[in-house]
Amino acid sequence: MASDFSFYDAYEEVTLWGKDLVEHFDSIYRKQGRYCVMFISRHYAEKIWTRYECRVALARAIEQRSEYVLPVRFDKTEIPGLPPTTAYLDLTKLTPEELGTRILQKLGRG
């Protein structure tokens, strides 16, 4: 895959191979997901696909009129369209295990 189409999880490469990613991500982020955990950083804000995913997730949040986007911050980067009043978790203060526990609690499993 070209660098613009690389993903965090290498195992997704084969699953996504040949798919129309605009349609695929629209379906995932706007129709299928219960929540969208958004890992915000300077790098997130710079990548083309994460900006697209963010726009689709924010559209869902507007349609749903309840919390859908769950921001988790690595730094203070602002994301266009994400109100600064949206509560977030700060990864400089949480271990990965603590974040996992909070996600499970949000899902009603913790």
Residues 26-47 have pLDDT tens digits of 998 999 999 999 999 999 999 9
Indicate whether 23 belongs to any domain. Answer: no
Indicate whether 15 belongs to any domain. Answer: no
Residues 92-108 have pLDDT tens digits of 999 999 999 999 999 99
Domain hosting 63: range is 35-110
Q: Is residue 30 within 8 Å of residue 61, measured between CB atoms?
A: no
Pairing assessment for the beta strands 89-90 and 36-40 based on DSSP bridges: unpaired
Q: Which amino acid is at 2?
A: A
C-alpha–C-alpha distance, residues 102 and 110, integer Å: 8
Per-residue pLDDT at 6 exceeds 70: no
Poorest-pLDDT segment among 6-10, 25-29, 67-71, 75-79: 6-10
Instruction: Specify the residue for token string 């990613």.
Output: 21
Q: Is residue 69 within 8 Å of residue 36, measured between CB atoms?
A: yes
Indicate whether 43 belongs to any domain. Answer: yes
pTM of structure: 0.82
Indicate whether 97 belongs to any domain. Answer: yes
Indicate whether 29 belongs to any domain. Answer: no
- What's the average model confidence in pLDDT over 81-97? 94
Indicate whether 6 belongs to any domain. Answer: no
- What's the average model confidence in pLDDT over 52-78? 93
Indicate whether 24 belongs to any domain. Answer: no
Per-residue pLDDT at 8 exceeds 80: no
Sequence-distant (6+) residues with CB within 8 A of 71 are 38, 40, 79, 82, 86, 87, 88, 89
Q: Number of structural domains, the chain?
A: 1
Indicate whether 108 belongs to any domain. Answer: yes
